[in-house]
Amino acid sequence: MQSNVINRFIRYIKIDTQSNPESTTFPSTKKQFHLGQLLVRELNSLELENVNMDENGYVMATLASNIDYDVPTIGFIAHMDTAPDISGKGVNPQFVENYDGSDIVLHKKNNIILSPKDFPQLKKYIGKTLITTDGTTLLGADDKAGIAEIMEAMEFLVKNPDVKHGTIKIGFTPDEEIGKGADFFDVKKFGADFAYTIDGGELGELEYENFNAAGAKIKVNGRNVHPGTAKNQMINSIQIAMELHAMLPTNQRPEHTEGYEGFFMLMSFKGTVENTNLSYIIRDHCFDKFNQKKKLISSVIDFINNKYGDNTVEIEIQDSYFNMKEKIKPVMHIVDTAKEALIDLEIEPIIKPIRGGTDGSKLSFKGLPTPNIFTGGHNFHGKYEYIPVESIERAVEVILKIIEKYTKKAIQ
């Protein structure tokens, strides 16, 4: 029999909430409202206070304090959308009980195999129960596992009023996967002193550093003439775009970096002889190195324009978010307390920088310090995504332990 939190998780992943980076609306897809509406109903059924979903799709609620002394107001936040890279429609989860460490056939017909040869971390979960995809969609643990874990913790507190706690704020956001999840988040309305996003990876992850991030859109302008008479006349924008890309350091691509190493990533390349468009993301934890990367790609553009003529290449660079570390460090007790909670639960803390973004970054810069805690999932944004049942259940314990520790610290 599946536990309540697993039933929740399955219920949520069945709802397609894929976001769309090309949309001009907010949220970027109306279908995200469908999950928001379900969560509003469930929060109301738990009789939480101030339950609402605003016109931008943000869901918020309050679990009132049941104690008569001051305790910090803690927020827990997760996002409702799934990545635009792969379909989140028709998710058909598969359960692998008592995993034996061998290959897992996700889709027999298409020969889609989840193998420890490709993903060695699978070996950590021998004997556990894994939830996988069927090889045709993502799973949605990023971040519907986080939503399920928060909701389950709130239900536990509601049904166990003898467990003492301060005021808890709940927030579910749209469009995190396209970098807009916190754009219209009303920190003042939310009303927490600090918060945690439940949006990380494997069991034990705790993160308070993330990339500084920017996007670069590049347009290469060519000149098309008949190839038979092209000498000294044709300007092939595809060739120039390839030359431009080759000038960026190959050792600073995602597939060659880890830890604190930043990168340039070519996201899209579409072109003809006449016009080619490239899209890059630029990432680095160090702000100085981040700025150096932006200067480097701009200098490459300058070189190309000097070689082929002014305005052969046009570039637009836009910052996306910044490293939340500088906003977390003055209130490191929120990281230290989460670490203590993990240790109390005999979960090894894995404190490392996020090699990506998080709602917590923008929220921290909006005045709500928000580090990130694991959901338990692996291989997000693709058909090889999976999550151990036991990790989901342990994440619920961590949320409750953090609440408990702040309640007890207030007495001491």
Active site (catalytic) residues: 81, 176
What are the residues facing 59 on neighbouring strands? Answer: 53, 172
d(CA 126, CA 263): 34
Cβ atoms 114, 152 nearer than 8 A: no
Q: With the C-alpha atoms ordered 318, 320, 325, 327, is the resulting torsion angle positive or negative?
A: positive
Tokens of 249: 């350091």
Cβ atoms 102, 113 nearer than 8 A: no
Cβ atoms 353, 259 nearer than 8 A: yes
Indicate the SS3 state at residue 386: strand
d(CA 400, CA 404): 6
Whose tokens are 């996967």? That residue is: 177
Task: List all residues 6 or more positions away from 178 whose beta carbon is below 8 Å from its beta carbon.
Answer: 19, 20, 21, 28, 81, 84
- Is beta strand 212-221 parallel, antiparallel or unpaired with respect to 275-284? antiparallel
Q: How far is CA 30 from the centre of its chain?
A: 20
Cβ atoms 402, 196 nearer than 8 A: yes
Cβ atoms 86, 142 nearer than 8 A: no
Task: List all residues 6 or more positions away from 103 whose beta carbon is below 8 Å from its beta carbon.
Answer: 113, 114, 115, 116, 117
* Rg, the chain, Cα only: 23
Alpha-helix residue ranges (DSSP H) falling in 280-329:
287-308, 325-328
